[in-house]
């Protein structure tokens, strides 16, 4: 994509009207918060929040052999993915590092959808289409979808009255096609918050009307619009990686604790040889959680210290609205990466006490 002017989702006017603070995110003008990050975060944990994530990209792969093509590009086992199911996976480089982390949807036996991060969408599409696909359609379908994420324990109570699709049978990481508020939608039981929720893929022309209907129907349940700020604190508490922070072109799934998305038995895939070699060598570092015990908030890039020596660095750090303390994630040398270990973090020249914690920090009761 060569456009330099910021792009807007179909909901931009809604965000401005709702008083959102708009920021540039991966070339998109997106709402970072409406009323406030903390309130929005807590609404998602206790009731529900509605996010506009239309900036995400979608790549459609269709035709005989589509599944084999996607298998070749991603480390998770596409053969186990039946129509109506989704899995978390990645686009890896031959060196085993991340071009992106993705969701793969098995739309039909011979049709898949790869959902990618906005920041990587153009590069991902170029990467995927660079692999030979003589009898396949490989399309950047991003402009064909708006994407709303309805997240929180009140999700089904809000959404069920607006759709004839029965939500209960749709399991986590499953999806169905149906209608929401009278317009076609893919109802996907996925999210990036650690809560129950649905992501709704919509025709961009329908997005504003669905947004309005959801907020109206959800208001009595405590639904509020939520921005990228809360999305980030929610995913961090839930120990979920964010591209450009925990994962990038220097990290492998082994480093990031994403072993479970790598199925070495599923057949060959780009990056497999490098991952096998890396596994043989053994990991030198590990992604861990930490909790600040002193005063301050560790931020991305701050050094992790043991006995004054650098043993790692922070990838994400924030104030946690749920736990009301400063939390984060960091890469730490394996010999120091045991949960429970005391470390220090160099917060702008001040060594602040911290303790390593297992991820995730937050797991919802099921």
Partner 1 sequence: MYPSENRYTRDHEWVRIEDDVCTLGITDFAQNELGEVVYVELPEIGHLFDAHDELGTIESVKAVAEVYTPVAGEVVEVNENLKDDPQAINEDPHGDGWLVKIKFSASTDFDELMSAEEYEAYAKEGK
Give the residues lining the site for partner 1 (CB under 8 A). Answer: 21, 32-33, 36-38, 229, 232-233, 295-297, 299, 318-319, 321, 326, 348
Report the distance separating Cα 186 and Cα 176, nearest Å: 6
Contact residues for 108 (Cβ-Cβ < 8 A; gap 6+) = 83
β-pairing, 223-225 vs 48-52, is: parallel
Closest contact distance (angstroms) between CB of 225 and partner 1 is 16
Which lies closer to partner 1 via its Cβ, residue 39 or residue 95?
39
3-state secondary structure of 366: coil
Which lies closer to partner 1 via its Cβ, residue 6 or residue 84?
6
Closest contact distance (angstroms) between CB of 297 and partner 1 is 5
Report the distance separating Cα 125 and Cα 3, nearest Å: 16
3-state secondary structure of 109: coil
Which lies closer to partner 1 via its Cβ, residue 239 or residue 321?
321
Closest Cα partner for 211 from 235, 246, 248, 185? 185
The vertex-331 CA angle with 326 and 336, nearest 5°, equals 95
Which lies closer to partner 1 via its Cβ, residue 221 or residue 355?
355
Closest Cα partner for 223 from 54, 44, 365, 52? 44
Closest contact distance (angstroms) between CB of 35 and partner 1 is 10
The encoded tokens of residue 171 equal: 């399991």
Cα-Cα end-to-end distance for the chain: 41
Query: Among all chains, which residue has been given the structure tokens 């020596």?
Result: 309
Closest contact distance (angstroms) between CB of 349 and partner 1 is 11
Closest contact distance (angstroms) between CB of 39 and partner 1 is 8
Could you give phi then psi for residue 331, rounded to 5 degrees? Answer: -90, 125
Buried residues in 175-199 as b, exposed as e (16+ CB within 10 A) = bbebebbeeebbbbbbbbbbbbbbb
Which lies closer to partner 1 via its Cβ, residue 161 or residue 349?
349
Closest contact distance (angstroms) between CB of 348 and partner 1 is 7
Which lies closer to partner 1 via its Cβ, residue 187 or residue 292?
292
Which lies closer to partner 1 via its Cβ, residue 32 or residue 186?
32
Closest contact distance (angstroms) between CB of 46 and partner 1 is 17
Contact between 72 and 270 (Cβ < 8 Å): yes
């Amino acid at each position: 994509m060569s456009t330099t002017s910021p792009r807007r989702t179909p909901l931009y006017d809604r965000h401005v009207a709702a008083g959102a603070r708009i920021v540039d995110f991966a070339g998109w003008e997106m709402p970072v918060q409406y009323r406030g990050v903390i309130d929005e975060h807590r609404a998602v944990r206790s009731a529900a929040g509605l996010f506009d994530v239309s900036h995400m990209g979608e790549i459609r792969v269709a035709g005989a052999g589509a599944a084999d093509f996607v298998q070749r590009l991603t480390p998770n086992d596409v053969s186990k993915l039946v129509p109506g199911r989704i899995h978390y996976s990645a686009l890896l480089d031959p060196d085993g590092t991340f071009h992106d982390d993705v969701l793969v949807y098995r739309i039909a036996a011979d049709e898949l959808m790869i959902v990618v991060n906005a920041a990587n969408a153009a590069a991902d599409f170029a990467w995927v289409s660079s692999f030979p696909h003589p009898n396949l359609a490989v399309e950047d379908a991003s402009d064909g979808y708006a994407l709303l994420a309805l997240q929180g324990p009140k999700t089904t109570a809000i959404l069920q009255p607006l759709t004839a699709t029965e939500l209960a049978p749709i399991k986590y990481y499953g999806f169905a096609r149906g209608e929401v508020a009278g317009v076609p939608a893919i109802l996907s039981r996925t999210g990036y918050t650690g809560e129950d929720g649905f992501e709704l893929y919509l025709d961009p022309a329908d997005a504003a009307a669905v947004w309005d209907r959801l907020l109206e129907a959800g208001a009595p349940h405590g639904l509020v619009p939520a921005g990228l700020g809360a999305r980030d604190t929610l995913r961090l508490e839930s120990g979920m990686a964010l591209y450009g922070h925990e994962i990038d072109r220097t990290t492998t799934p082994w480093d990031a604790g994403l072993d479970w998305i790598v199925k070495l038995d599923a057949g060959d895939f780009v990056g497999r040889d490098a991952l096998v070699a890396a596994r043989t060598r053994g990991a030198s570092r590990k992604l861990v959680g930490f909790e600040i015990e002193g005063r301050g908030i560790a931020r991305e890039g701050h050094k992790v210290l043991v006995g004054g020596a650098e043993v790692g660095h922070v990838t994400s750090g924030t104030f946690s609205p749920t736990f009301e303390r400063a939390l984060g994630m960091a890469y730490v040398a394996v010999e120091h990466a045991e949960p429970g270990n005391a470390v220090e973090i160099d917060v702008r020249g001040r060594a602040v006490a911290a303790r390593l914690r297992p991820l995730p920090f937050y797991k919802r009761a099921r």
